[in-house]
Chains A and B, each alone.
Chain A
Amino acid sequence: MKKLILPNEILMGEVERLLSQGTAVTIMTKGNSMLPFIVGERDSVVLKPYGKPQVGDIALAHLDSGAYVLHRIIAISDTGMVTLMGDGNICGTEHCHSERLCGKTVTVIRRGRRYNPDSRSWMIMWRIWRQMLPVRRYLLAIYRRFLIKFI
């Protein structure tokens, strides 16, 4: 199967438009910022239009800078400001208003298998992962070195 690479801003603009009209969209992910939950260039995600955002969601956000990120919501303020952080990042967060959230990840397709990121097991894994932030750097190194081939 031929791979068609589209410039990110064009593809993501199209994805945002489709989501805003209610279409669920499946895209291949890029980058390592959501390791170990999503492996870029290997795993795909199914996005759905946003309902009510919640901490723990993996959201596609259109940041004020124009960039799009697919990161985890780690906080939501009373005024609707959302803080996002990649599971595979050691530091660094993004901020945007909840209106700038384009889509919520409802399925992660890892090596052909479909997973629900809202499932109990995924949420437990994420809570543990969040607690491990101080040693995340080392866990990521182990994952990338040894485990990425298997899980």
Chain B
Amino acid sequence: MRIKKGFVLRELAGEKIVSGEGLEQLDFNKIVSLNTSAAYIWEHISNREFDLETMVDLLLDRYDIERSVALQDARRLLDNWISIGLVEE
């Protein structure tokens, strides 16, 4: 799967936010704010194919956590991104 085209991550007032810039419209009522680890994952997968395993590996590379914990966090994040339409198969 991939991040849908047109979504950009940037920093605004110290917050990492994802918006639909590049599309002709930007609705500030519909922006997604990411925490540090979510932003870290986003930065590493935004221009390529990825899956749940890619996300888990990224978390394990950076954080000293159990694989089961990483898996749980990655799953939750991915489900959220899919449900709000940031990701396409």
A residues with CB within 8 A of B: 2, 4, 6-7, 10-11, 14-15, 18, 22-28, 44, 46
A36 to B12, CA, bound (A): 31
Q: Please give the distance in Å from A10's CB to the nearest CB on chain B.
A: 5
Provide 25 A-B residue pairs closer than 8 Å at the C-beta atoms, listed in order of the A residue.
Answer: A2-B33, A4-B15, A4-B17, A4-B33, A6-B12, A6-B15, A7-B13, A11-B12, A11-B28, A14-B12, A18-B21, A23-B21, A23-B24, A23-B26, A24-B24, A24-B25, A24-B26, A25-B25, A25-B28, A26-B25, A26-B26, A26-B28, A26-B30, A27-B28, A28-B29
A23: chain B residues within 8 A (beta carbon) = 21, 24-26
| Chain B residues bordering chain A, tally (CB within 8 A) | 14
**B49: Cβ under 8 A from any A Cβ:** no
Q: Please give the distance in Å from B9's CB to the nearest CB on chain A.
A: 14
**Most A Cβ at <10 Å: residue of B15, B21, B27:** B27
B33: chain A residues within 8 A (beta carbon) = 2, 4
B residues with CB within 8 A of A: 12-13, 15, 17, 21, 24-31, 33
A6: chain B residues within 8 A (beta carbon) = 12-13, 15
A2 to B30, CA, bound (A): 10
A7 to B12, CA, bound (A): 10
Q: Please give the distance in Å from A43's CB to the nearest CB on chain B.
A: 11
A10: chain B residues within 8 A (beta carbon) = 12-13
A6 to B10, CA, bound (A): 14
A28: chain B residues within 8 A (beta carbon) = 28-29
Question: Assuming the A-B contacts A2-B33, A18-B21, are A25 and B26 also in contact, with contact meaning beta carbons closer than 8 angstroms in the complex?
Answer: yes
A18 to B31, CA, bound (A): 15
Q: Please give the distance in Å from B36's CB to the nearest CB on chain A.
A: 16
A14 to B36, CA, bound (A): 22
Residue of A nearest to B30 (CB): A26
A24 to B23, CA, bound (A): 9
Q: Please give the distance in Å from A30's CB to the nearest CB on chain B.
A: 12
A32 to B25, CA, bound (A): 26
